[in-house]
Amino acid sequence: MPGDGSGGTPRRNLRSVGRYGEKLAETHLVRNGFRILARNVHLRHAELDLVALESDTLCFIEVRLRASRRFGSAEESVDRRKQRRLARAAAAFLATHSLPRHEVLRFDVVTIDTSHHPPYINLIRDAFQL
C-alpha cells in the first residue's frame, strides 16, 4: 500500500526498477564500446531508453528487465506492437535531433535477468527489423 513503508506505489517502483535496468544496460554498453548519445527520450507516444553509437552505427536500444519468467521472457516482451512503437519513436527522434547522417541504423535490445547475482545482461544486436 502507498505510504505504508512497503516500497511506495507500484508505478514509482516500476520507474525505479526501470532506471536501475537502464543504468546497468548503459554501463554494459559503454564497457563494450558504445557511445551513449541520449537517455530516456520521451516522444509523443513512445520512449527510447537509450540512443547510442557503436562505431558508425546509430542504435536505438530498448532495455527489458525481468526478475522471473512468470510473465514471459524479456525478449518476448518486445513484440511487434512494441517494435512498431520504437520505430515511430526513432523516426521522431531523427526528425527532431540534428545528428550527422548515419547509413546504418539498428534496433538493439538489452535484456537483464535479475534472478542471477550479479544480474545477467545480454545484448541482442539488430534484434528486429521493420
CATH number of the CATH domain containing 25: 3.40.1350.10
pLDDT by residue (tens digit) across 10-64? 555 767 778 899 999 999 999 999 999 999 999 887 899 999 999 999 999 999 9
pLDDT of 10 reads 53
Question: 83 in a domain, yes or no?
Answer: yes
Q: How many domains does the chain have?
A: 1
pLDDT of 7 reads 44
Give the global pTM. Answer: 0.84
Question: 3 in a domain, yes or no?
Answer: no
For residues 4-15, average pLDDT = 52
Question: 130 in a domain, yes or no?
Answer: no
Characterize 29-68 residue by residue with b for buried, 16 or more Cβ atoms within 10 angstroms of its Cβ, and e for exposed: beeeebeeeeeebebeebebbbbbbbeebbbbbbbbbbee
Question: 50 in a domain, yes or no?
Answer: yes
Question: 63 in a domain, yes or no?
Answer: yes
pLDDT over 90 (residue 71): no
Q: Provide the residue range defining the domain that includes 91.
A: 10-124
Question: 2 in a domain, yes or no?
Answer: no
Three cell numbers written together for 37: 548519445
Question: 4 in a domain, yes or no?
Answer: no
Question: 68 in a domain, yes or no?
Answer: yes
pLDDT of 45 reads 77
